[in-house]
Structure 1
Amino acid sequence: MSVTQETEKKQSGRSKTKKVLNILLKVFGAIVIVILLFVATVYSVNKISSHSEQKRMETYGQRVSVDGKQMNISIQGKGEETIVLLPGFGTASPALDFKPLISELSPYYKVVVVEPFGYGLSDQTERERSTANIVSEIHEALQSLHIDRYILMGHSISGIYSLDYVNKYPNEVSAFVGLDSSVPTLSEQKIDSSDTQPIKWFRNLGFARLQLKLSADPYDGLPYDEQTKEQLNILIRKNMYNTTQLNEAESMYSNFKAAEQLTFPVNLPVLFFVQKNHPAAENWIPEHEKLIKDSVHGEVVLLEANHYLYRSHAKEIAENFMGFMKEIQ
């Protein structure tokens, strides 16, 4: 092969390589543009939808001043005894979410639903979501409404906060009822701010709405009317992954650890409603039983239900609870 032919061959090879690179660059550029357009569409749809939903959102309950911010409290029923309901982590609208249970209890009790900061219609807060702060805020809200004697009823993570609460205010709490409530020995995994930062971007760009769109309806087939479900869905999209709740997630591990040193007061009546078959924790039931082993009045009721057992088994919970209260009086 002559020098000229070899040069032409090299130039031809370079030309082909350049064409391939140009094609790859164009494909890469097209992919980037498609991704950017997709992100922009998701972001725009979320902004427009959020604005529309804000107009359709219905208010409920009453707002009270706590630590310079507004906390929403819902009160139903006029019974002589008061029940204070506390939600599980991330519950978008406690007052609406507890509706089946409220319907069963309100004919006999005054039912007070506290929506902590970052939940329901309450403000958000930058204050650390330690158990001490959450408990003091709930107490301040109740005090402002002159509610000073009540049965505390908490779902999930509120079981951890309630352990602290009943020890701090033993003269106010007459009994505790756990709704598949968390126990200190079965701690959540540690979450750092570095773990929540991507979630903030995920929310701010509108992908939380897309996630919900692709997820199953958590209220499908449950005793919630269409108007309530619509409002629940609006508030889920409003509060999902908000800053206050993410801060609470970051504080969760240390809150569980602090609760390991606590026990229920021996003379405090304690009733646990627990799911019979926990999907992840085999010792879910034994750990609840351990918490009340020294209680003068302690009982565990097992239900064939998931973690949100008050949504599907409200009547059964109410009947067992009222029977328990009659026995201890």
Structure 2
Amino acid sequence: MKKTLIILLKSLGVIAIAIVLFLAIVFIVNMISNKTEQGKIESYGQPVQVDGKNMNVTIQGKGEETVVLLPGFGTAAPALDFKLLVDELSPFYKVVVIEPFGYGLSDETEKERSMENIVSEIHEALQQLNIDRYTLMGHSIAGIYGLDYVNKYPNEVSAFVGIDSSVPTQGGMDDDFPLETFKLLKKSGLLRLIMKLGGDPYASLSFDDKTKEQMKMITNKNLNNATTLNEMKNISSNFKGAQNLTFPENLPTIFFIQANNTDVEGWIPLHKEQVKDSVHGKVMTLEGEHYLHHTNSKEIVENFREFIKEIK
């Protein structure tokens, strides 16, 4: 019995040492990779002063009308993520991509990530650029921020376009997120390892290799940073805060949404409910995943232009 116990204890000791060594290697590799990648990330866009910090914005195209693009939650490099959509829009419009604080090449911020603060900061960026009339086009959680935005600045927004955009009353948004776990995963380097083992999310998409590589590095930099974790903490309150808001009935509003969303119950009816009282409201379903602009950009732009033409 004594020999067995000694062998067992030694085995456990070896396992413990192996685990500690493994975690140490993961941590060191992550630290080195972060420093190396920091020097490889290429600048794009232009910084705009908002609340004393730099918010990164890209502008492409010279059309008379302006389209402002807002990202979904956790989209690490919005300007690059929207590249395929921007390329389709820019022959017809001036296209502005906002990278909120904590995203892309924008600074982080310690200011609470409430819907009010996020919306105010986006508006300030556009004011700094002297952009005061535009279509607001947003993906995912931008459907929540956009809803607040169009009610606060109705004289500036000429139309709203949702790309599989969130709805305030959708289920599952009142859950508590394990923020400390996410923070630990990032600091330890395990998050980088998990992403590496998870495969290449851009492999089958039409981005060029350089853009794919830049998106991966910026994702490693931004994913689960303090600013986006604070936004995650505020998700429930932000969704609740938008539940009493509706899109103005005279605001042209069109939603491009997944035809087969199995994650959110009633996805299509929820969006139809949002435009039921709109004078110019439309819901279009597209075959694809949540990031519809990765695979359906051409279709989105063609139908958006047709929608605006019909209204005029």
Gaps of 5+ in 1: 1-15
Aligned mates of 1:233, 1:281 — CA distance in 2: 28
- Output the CA distance in 2 between the equivalents of 1:56 and 1:67: 28
- Structure 2 partner of 1:61: 45
Asked if structure 2 preserves the Cα contact closer than 8 Å seen for 1:72 and 1:120, the reply is: yes
Residues 173, 239 of structure 2: 8 Å contact kept: no
CA RMSD of aligned residues (A): 1.1
The answer to whether residue 264 in structure 2 is matched with residue 286 in structure 1 is no
Q: Decide which of 187, 191, 205 is 1:208's aligned counterpart.
A: 191
Q: Determine the structure 2 residue equivalent to 1:257.
A: 240
- Secondary structure of the 1:45 match is helix
* Mapped contact 1:176–1:271 kept (Cα < 8 A): yes
% identity of equivalent residues: 61
CA–CA separation in structure 2 for the residues paired with 1:100 and 1:42: 34
Q: CA deviation at 1:24?
A: 2.1
Instruction: State yes or no: 1:136 paired with 2:120.
Output: yes
Does the Cα contact within 8 Å between 1:77 and 1:109 map onto a contact in 2? Answer: yes
Residue 36 of structure 1 pairs with residue 20 of structure 2: yes
Matching residue within 268, 293, 313 for 2:251: 268
Q: 1:131 and 1:189 mapped to 2: Cα distance?
A: 14
Q: Which residue of 2 aligns with 1:175?
A: 159
1:247 equivalent among 217, 221, 230: 230
Unpaired stretches in structure 2, ≥5 consecutive residues = none
Contact preservation (8 Å) 2:251, 2:280: yes
Partners of 1:129 and 1:187 lie apart in 2 by: 21
Distance 1:122 1:25 in 2: 51
Matched with 1:222 is 205
Specify the structure having the higher radius of gyration (Cα).
1
Question: Which letter maps to 2:107?
Answer: D
Measure, in 2, the Cα distance between the counterparts of 1:60 and 1:164.
29
SS in 1 for 2:234: helix
Q: Secondary structure at the match of 2:54?
A: strand
Alignment partner of 2:68: what SS?
strand
Structure 1 pair 191–290 and aligned structure 2 pair: CA distance change class (3 A): closer
How many equivalent residue pairs?
A: 312
Aligned to 2:107: 123
Measured against aligned partners, the alpha-carbon deviations of 1:11-48 in whole angstroms (never above 9, x if no partner) come to: xxxxx42x333222211211111011000000011111
Contact kept in structure 2, 1:185 and 1:260, CA below 8 Å: yes
Q: Match for 1:170: what amino acid?
A: P
Q: Secondary structure at the match of 1:59?
A: coil
Instruction: Show the counterpart of 1:91.
Output: 75
For residues 223 and 108 of structure 1, what CA distance do their matches in structure 2 show?
A: 21
Matched-pair contact (CA < 8 Å) for 2:78–2:98: yes
Match of 2:4 in 1: 20
Over 3 Å counting, the alpha-carbon distance change for 1:261 and 1:286 in structure 2 is same
* Cross-structure match for 1:302: 285
Q: Deviations over 1:271-323 (max 9, x none)?
A: 10011000222310001000000000001111011100010000000100011
Shift of 1:198: 1.5
2:139 equivalent among 146, 155, 161: 155
Q: Does structure 1 conserve the Cα–Cα contact (< 8 Å) formed by 2:45 and 2:59?
A: yes
Structure 1 position 187, deviation (Å): 4.1
Shift of 1:256: 0.6
Task: Report deviation, 1:223.
Answer: 1.2
Amino acid at match of 1:124: E
In the TM superposition, residue 191 of structure 1 has moved relative to its aligned partner by: 4.9
CA shift at 1:192, angstroms?
Answer: 4.5
* Conservation of the 8 A alpha-carbon contact between 2:171 and 2:265: no
Q: In 1, Cα distance between the equivalents of 2:175 and 2:42?
A: 34
Distance in 1 of aligned mates of 2:26 and 2:97: 34
Instruction: Render the CA deviation track for 1:67-90: whole Å, top value 9, x for unaligned.
Output: 111110011001000000000000
What TM-score results when the alignment is normalised by the length of structure 2? 0.98
Quick one: distance in 2 between partners of 1:32 and 1:67?
48
Indicate the SS of the match to 1:254: helix
Following superposition, the deviation at residue 189 of structure 1 comes to 3.3
CA contact (8 A) 1:79 1:110 kept: yes
